[in-house]
Amino acid sequence: MAILRTLTAAFAASLVLVACDGLRTPGAGNGGTETPAEGDTSPPDETDPVSEPTEPETPTEPETDPVSDPVEPETPAVPDISDLTEINAVNCKVFSTEGLTVAELMSADDPEPSLSVGTAQVNGRPVEAEEFPGLVKLEPAEDIGSAVGHGHCGTTRIGETWFITAAHCLDQAYDRIELVVGSETLSQGRRIVASRSICHAAYGGAAQKYTNDIALIEIAPEVAETLTDIPIAPLMGTSKAFTPRNYPRAYVAGWGLTDFNAGTLSDVLLQTELKVESVGPSRIRVSSLDGAGPCIGDSGGPIYVEETDGTRRLVGVLSAVEGNAEGKFCQDSYYAQYTNIAGFTDWIEQVQLVCDNRPELCELQQ
């Protein structure tokens, strides 16, 4: 089965792609006189006291506990570690690119600034970002002489200063991590620069079929304050067990290739609906519908499922796209694999706790 990494990269000056993206879840007794014994004719002793009627006890109000104050959730303890590897995490820069790069497979062009494009993501349709809360474009950048090489992926905001994506989007040399925010149309957006990226230490790359393909990106608090138009997608899980029967459809969006052979990236955010085929502890497998699905450049982007009230839940990030029956990518009937976030919630929490409270451990060790 052919599997293709999904990150593309393009030089700003030469428009040459140098990508490394791989395509690849809580009573008182009564008183009285004594009765004389039988045959006893003596008058009753008047001095015998008559028991005073016992006053019934006044019932007391049952004691009630005072209304308890709401219990504040316990603040998770910061892991007592001396190195990120103790929580199965590393700075993403420790990895190097493996396998075929997009540049070896094809050429691609930067998106043409436009509000109107043809069929895309692949055979998707334009959509407003509010339908995919937290989604922005991820473009890790590398300075090469007077040119700039950009990778092309998606990432989703999951905390005030945190975004989630795929590890393979960040496993090559880069000089900075740029995010394009502020508009569904990239040519109208603005760029911000992230502080760091943390990958799962057991990320397998091509040699292990991209296992544990998950990474976190952190931005500075002062940068986060400017992102008032980007909501946080909470990692709260689904209301029912996440299975294909309960959630037969899923929804994805991105700015990836609109056509694999033409190699043109989309300038506008495009979406499509997918069929959920299977859900495992760490992987979600989906299939295209009517030839529409994710492609190169959509890696790291989110997949959502919809609740009965219409709200959407973030459940995964794009890791891989599989070739179809003829070995071709991003066309006809084909499958894609997403990293199931549910299998990494503890890891995500620990990384955030460590980097927020002990940032020195999250810096790249030279």
DSSP-assigned states of every residue in 152-185: EEEEEE-SSSEEEE-GGGS-S--SEEEEEES-SB
CA distance 192 to 227: 10
Q: How far apart are CA 55 and CA 350, in angstroms?
A: 66
**Helix or strand (DSSP H, E) at 142:** strand 135-144
Instruction: Tell me what pLDDT residue 110 has.
Output: 47
Q: Does pLDDT of 116 surpass 80?
A: no
Digit-coded pLDDT (tens) for 287-315: 999 889 999 899 999 999 999 999 999 99
In DSSP terms, 194 is beta-bridged to none
The pLDDT assigned to 131 comes to: 84
112 to 128, 185, 187, 264, 301: CA distances (angstroms): 19, 10, 8, 9, 21
Query: Domain 3-18+81-362 maps to which CATH number in 2.40.10.10, 3.40.50.2300, 3.40.605.10, 1.50.10.20?
Result: 2.40.10.10
User: pLDDT tens digits, residue range 7-54?
Assistant: 544 433 332 322 334 333 233 333 333 333 444 444 444 444 444 445
Please report the pLDDT score of residue 234 as a whole number: 87
| pLDDT tens digits, 154-177 | 999 999 999 999 999 998 878 999
Least confident of 72-86, 181-195, 262-276, 338-352: 72-86
Alpha helices by DSSP H, listed for 150-279, are: 221-224
Which pLDDT does position 63 carry in this prediction?
Answer: 52
**CB half-sphere exposure, 258, CA atoms < 13 A:** 19
* Cα atoms in the Cβ-side hemisphere of radius 13 Å centred on 53: 2
Res. 146 pLDDT band, cuts 50 70 90: confident
pLDDT of residue 209 exceeding 60, the answer is: yes
pLDDT tops 70 at residue 236: yes
Q: Where are the domains of the chain?
A: 3-18+81-362
pLDDT at site 323:
87
